Chain A
Amino acid sequence: MNPVDRSAIESFVYYEAALLDAGALKDWLELFAQDCLYWIPSRAHAPDPVRHVSIVYDDKPKLSARVARLLSGKEYAQEPPSVTCRQVTNVVTRAGADGEIEVNAVLVVYETRPNTAIQAVPAHARWRLTVQDGSFRICEKRVVLTDLDRYYENLTFLL
């Protein structure tokens, strides 16, 4: 039997998605543990951060700096800002190591800015969650883009 409360976890990842769609980036940042990783690798299989470049490889300080930059009003790739609508589906949860919870899901982010066509960014997302003071914290969020060969014009919004 799965010890993990699946509906609570689903509620959490939907809440996370809603924060991003609402542009509540500071609230979103708070969901991450101090020792965290927000990772968009540039290869699907066995990405190794020591040898392979990523699209994003942010620990908490880098992620905080990213959020600050996105909110600074001077990130011109976000002027005007992206509007996103994201779907999180096919959620599968399981108990991970050290009391962590592993969540896998399909993530599709529809993104548009005025002056640019809408883009669909499909991906497989994976979270490692922990429970701190009765609420979930994200230890790792990894987003593996379906089309890694694509010449993306803008991925400065958060996935």
Chain B
Amino acid sequence: MVGHDELHAAHAHRFDHLVTDRAVHREVYVDPAVFDAELKRIFGRVWVYVAHESQLRQPGDFVTSWIGRQPVIVTHGGQQQPRVLMNRCTHRAATVCQERSGHATHFRCAYHGWNFRNDGTLVSPTFGSGYDLEDFRVEDFSLGQAPRVDSYRGFVFASLAQSGPTLAEHLGNARTYIDLFCDLSPTGEIEVGEAGTNRYGYPGNWKLQAENGVDGYHPNFVHQAFLDNGRGGLAMQLFHGESVGRAADLGRGHALLDSRPTLGEIHERSFRSTPGGQAHYEQLVDRLGAERAAEVIRTNGGQGFNLLVFPNLQLIQIQIRVIHPRRVDLTEVDLYPTLLAGAAEQTNAARLRSHEGFYGPAGGGAPGDLEMFRRVQEGLAVESVEWLPLLRGLRRTELGPNGELIGHVTDEHPQRAFYRRWAEEMAA
């Protein structure tokens, strides 16, 4: 490969040379300049997931999150689409909301008392007689807002760019799996937030979690103690070198691990015999028809796949996972286990127990990944070995019916997909 210094000279403010179709350069994970550029070029432009509509049922409901590192408040102000307000007072820049979720008609900044309505407009500055009207027009000091907000199946996304691809264009093939995730609900609706949140962090780059969520190569190694634990070896077949599982590059940086070839028939056979399963099945048939119901059950919501939506959203098992980049070597992650609206209590409880077994900071699986991220970030300090290969399965993908690239579940085309989009965004 070409020496990095030569490349660097040729691409002063570009970073796309750090990624090829077969490798990623270490600076992608360790260079603060890359991180700063990601915040501007990726998080500052592309559609980023900020909330789910089920968290915003009543006018006044709000949740807070981040777009990259920028704090935002997502509010239901009574209008059709939620608003995504910048959580930054227009006076001296203090955050105006300190809660993760709640209900408020106004956000009052504690610093000098400016009070904003939940549509972002400023009521009036405090001690107003000190302001001259020629200097100060109240309407110039509304909270900042994401210029574009749109949603799909209740998933609310915001883009900080004035223009660009629509959300539907951005999601592309990922919509199929968001549909499957939601359609397992008897009503087609999921509930986010009600079940609470699992949170964890790690001293490593945010992309380590992004690429790991669709890495079918690692589970039999990192998670062996969990997968091999009295389950008759079935779980070890999911991600085996000879597994029948598939993975897909869905286009636009989105990717999928697909366990349906391994688990689909088991889900089909067992779904109706679980407690509440028969009634659930009948509700699905009523709403979706027998054919679609069978497809949904084969997938069993997100149990049949891991979906990565570029850049930082994942749907895995029952959870919505949101990855927050904090520093080049520090990342925090929110896991929102979802409830199926209208499903039997024992169905939702069983889904929660299954989630807890593997995920969260004390789960049987996720902490092993975090330990690997810590080790990777430590190893990346080595400067003389510059590149991280993504060569697995390079020559064994095939084109799917929707333009996706499909290959073996343990191959690295999901990561190649992610970094191809990454390079596109970082080039411009």
Question: Is B370 a contact of A72 with CB atoms below 8 Å?
Answer: no
Question: Is B196 a contact of A151 with CB atoms below 8 Å?
Answer: no
**Chain A interface size, under 10 / 10 to 19 / 20 to 34 / 35 or more:** 20 to 34
Give the complex CA separation of A52 and B374 in angstroms. 29
Interface residues of B in 309-367 (CB under 8 A from A): 332-333, 337, 339, 345-346, 348-349, 352-353, 355-357, 360-362, 364, 367
Give the complex CA separation of A49 and B368 in angstroms. 25
Q: Which residues of B contact A52 (CB under 8 A)?
A: 194-196, 352
Give the complex CA separation of A152 and B374 in angstroms. 13
Q: Which residues of A contact B352 (CB under 8 A)?
A: 49, 52-54, 57
Among A43, A68, A116, A152, the one with the most B-chain Cβ atoms within 10 Å of its Cβ is A152
Among A55, A66, A151, A155, the one with the most B-chain Cβ atoms within 10 Å of its Cβ is A151
Tell yes or no: A65 within 8 A of B by CB: yes
Tell yes or no: B198 within 8 A of A by CB: yes
Question: Is A53 a contact of B337 with CB atoms below 8 Å?
Answer: yes
Interface residues of A in 44-77 (CB under 8 A from B): 49-57, 62, 65-66, 68-69, 72, 74-77
Give the complex CA separation of A145 and B194 in angstroms. 19
Binary interface encoding of chain A residues 106-119 relative to chain B, with 1 for a CB under 8 A from any of its CBs, else 0 = 00000000011000
Question: Is B199 a contact of A65 with CB atoms below 8 Å?
Answer: no
Give the complex CA separation of A74 and B198 in angstroms. 23
Q: Which residues of B contact A79 (CB under 8 A)?
A: 371
Taking the nearest CB of chain A, how far is it from the CB of B204, in angstroms? 10
Residue from the list A43, A50, A53 in contact with B356, Cβ < 8 A: A53
Known contacts A42-B197, A55-B361, A154-B361; A75 and B368 CB within 8 A of each other: yes
Residue of B nearest to A71 (CB): B225
Give the complex CA separation of A56 and B364 in angstroms. 10
Question: Is B230 a contact of A53 with CB atoms below 8 Å?
Answer: no
Taking the nearest CB of chain B, how far is it from the CB of A52, in angstroms? 5
Q: Which residues of B contact A66 (CB under 8 A)?
A: 364
Question: Is A50 a contact of B361 with CB atoms below 8 Å?
Answer: no
Taking the nearest CB of chain B, how far is it from the CB of A147, in angstroms? 10
Among B229, B339, B362, the one with the most A-chain Cβ atoms within 10 Å of its Cβ is B362
Question: Is B332 a contact of A43 with CB atoms below 8 Å?
Answer: no
Give the complex CA separation of A50 and B332 in angstroms. 27
Taking the nearest CB of chain A, how far is it from the CB of B369, in angstroms? 9
Tell yes or no: B253 within 8 A of A by CB: no
Taking the nearest CB of chain A, how far is it from the CB of B84, in angstroms? 22
**Chain B interface size, under 10 / 10 to 19 / 20 to 34 / 35 or more:** 35 or more
Taking the nearest CB of chain A, how far is it from the CB of B370, in angstroms? 6
Residue from the list A51, A53, A115, A153 in contact with B198, Cβ < 8 A: A53
Question: Is B198 a contact of A55 with CB atoms below 8 Å?
Answer: yes
Interface residues of B in 187-245 (CB under 8 A from A): 194-203, 222, 224-226, 229-230
Give the complex CA separation of A132 and B361 in angstroms. 33
Question: Is A50 a contact of B345 with CB atoms below 8 Å?
Answer: yes
Question: Is A56 a contact of B356 with CB atoms below 8 Å?
Answer: yes
Among B196, B352, B355, B370, the one with the most A-chain Cβ atoms within 10 Å of its Cβ is B196
Q: Which residues of A contact B346 (CB under 8 A)?
A: 50
Question: Is A152 a contact of B345 with CB atoms below 8 Å?
Answer: no
Question: Is B332 a contact of A62 with CB atoms below 8 Å?
Answer: no
Q: Which residues of B contact A150 (CB under 8 A)?
A: 199
Binary interface encoding of chain A residues 26-43 relative to chain B, with 1 for a CB under 8 A from any of its CBs, else 0 = 000000000000001011
Tell yes or no: B285 within 8 A of A by CB: no
Residue from the list B226, B332, B362 in contact with A56, Cβ < 8 A: B362
Tell yes or no: A87 within 8 A of B by CB: no
Give the complex CA separation of A154 and B367 in angstroms. 6
Give the complex CA separation of A151 and B366 in angstroms. 13
Question: Is B200 a contact of A152 with CB atoms below 8 Å?
Answer: yes
Give the complex CA separation of A68 and B230 in angstroms. 11
Give the complex CA separation of A75 and B369 in angstroms. 10
Tell yes or no: B23 within 8 A of A by CB: no
Residue from the list B201, B225, B353, B374 in contact with A151, Cβ < 8 A: B201
Tell yes or no: B269 within 8 A of A by CB: no
Q: Which residues of A contact B333 (CB under 8 A)?
A: 151
| Contacts from B to A (Cβ < 8 Å) | 100, 194-203, 222, 224-226, 229-230, 332-333, 337, 339, 345-346, 348-349, 352-353, 355-357, 360-362, 364, 367-368, 370-372, 374, 378
| Contacts from A to B (Cβ < 8 Å) | 40, 42-43, 49-57, 62, 65-66, 68-69, 72, 74-77, 79, 115-116, 149-156
Q: List 8 A-B pairs, minimum CB-CB distance, nearest first.
A: A151-B201, A77-B367, A74-B225, A155-B362, A152-B361, A151-B332, A155-B361, A72-B225
What are 7 residue pairs bridging A and B, where the CB atoms are less than 8 Å apart in the complex?
A: A52-B195, A54-B356, A55-B198, A55-B361, A57-B353, A69-B364, A72-B225
Q: A53-B197, A69-B226 are in contact. List 13 more A-B contacts (CB 8 A).
A: A42-B197, A52-B196, A52-B352, A53-B337, A55-B356, A56-B356, A65-B229, A76-B371, A77-B368, A77-B370, A79-B371, A115-B374, A155-B361
